[in-house]
Structure 1
Amino acid sequence: MDLSGDGDFFTLLTASYARHVGRPLVPAGADAWWLYEQAPFGLLAHDTDPDPVFVYANRTAQRAFEYDWDEFTALPSRYSAEPVNRAERDQLIETVARDNYVAGYRGLRIAKSGRRFWIEEVTMWNLRHPDGGYAGQAAIFPRWTDQVAITT
């Protein structure tokens, strides 16, 4: 299912963010197209499976991770981090599940090409329907920087 322009998913993302974080995710008048095509931050969302799979990645996130829509939405979200960094990522997911959101996270991630980069100033939140039903988690990252290799 392609959620890139889905109005209901846009509402789920933005309403959950506003409810948990206490401020709007997007500027007034922005729509699903703006969030997918023009947002200046990366936005990812995964589903509720025990091994969550990405269900959404806007264009900015696709550029950072080097996956297109079809690749991203078939990818278990754990593969966004290398095995050595997955325990930290799992701890973030558990904290968000308990507290509804976390802000200020920084984590090392890996692109399709193997390029390592830091996602910075991350806010991650639970996606909840108006009735409280759990629908997964989403994260924004306004900045990312390549990890600089140390050479001797």
Structure 2
Amino acid sequence: MQIIKVPSPENGYLNKHAELLISSYHRWTGKDLVKPEHSDGDMYRALFQAPYAVVSHNTEDIPIFNYGNQTALSVFEMDWTEFTSLASQKSAEPVNQAERERLLARVSKLGFIDDYKGVRISSTGRHFLIENATVWNVVDARGEYYGQAAVFYKWSEL
């Protein structure tokens, strides 16, 4: 497993991956994940520093998170290395795994959903509820699949 470096000015805030997240979100939803008036470099920094949570996971049989912006890292109470080493299924309680699998299958079929609600767990065991999240397939301009991503603007401790 390869650990990706933390998004920073030195690596363009992981510009290639950030661009995939931004462009595929727009492709599926018709909405902007970050304000379009940003220049490319500022857009990727804005995504990482956004006041809402953005996460993505890869295409492994057991998907691993490969991106989490600063808000997501804070909500999940993890640093970059911990988060990008975590199987995304482990962010949900075992009792919620069936619900999670149905969600991911629905996203795979439709391209995105914008009505996700579910309980997640931070690294310290704190439970929080995500509401009205959008989950989408991460694809490039040719439609090549890179995994799935989510954005959530609202969460509350349980």
Please classify the TM superposition score into its range, dividing by the shorter chain length.
over 0.9
Are 1:33 and 2:41 an aligned pair? no
Residue deviations 1:15-53 (CA, integer Å, cap 9, x gap): 10000011111112151111112x121010000011000
Distance 1:101 1:50 in 2: 20
The count of corresponding residues between Structure 1 and Structure 2 is: 146
Matching residue of 2:10: none
Q: 1:19 aligns with which of 18, 27, 30?
A: 27
Distance 1:42 1:18 in 2: 17
Are 1:106 and 2:109 an aligned pair? no
Which structure 2 residue ranges, 5 or more long, are not aligned? 8-12
Residue 31 of structure 2 aligns to a residue whose secondary structure is coil
Q: Normalized against structure 1, the TM-score is what?
A: 0.93
Are 1:82 and 2:85 an aligned pair? no
What percentage of aligned pairs have identical amino acids? 40
Q: CA RMSD of the aligned region, Å?
A: 1.0
Tell me which amino acid in the other structure corresponds to 1:19.
R
- Report matched runs for 1:34-73 at 5 Å: 34-37=46-49, 39-73=50-84
Matching residue of 1:150: none
Are 1:2 and 2:13 an aligned pair? no
Q: Normalized against structure 2, the TM-score is what?
A: 0.89
Are 1:93 and 2:104 an aligned pair? yes
Residue 35 of structure 1 aligns to a residue whose secondary structure is helix
2:6 and 2:80 in contact (8 A); partners too: no
Matching residue of 1:123: 134
Which structure 1 residue ranges, 5 or more long, are not aligned? 148-152
Distance 1:53 1:128 in 2: 17
Tell me which amino acid in the other structure corresponds to 2:5.
D
| Alpha-carbon offset, residue 2 of structure 1 | 2.6
Tell me which amino acid in the other structure corresponds to 1:33.
R
Distance 1:95 1:145, change over 3 A: same
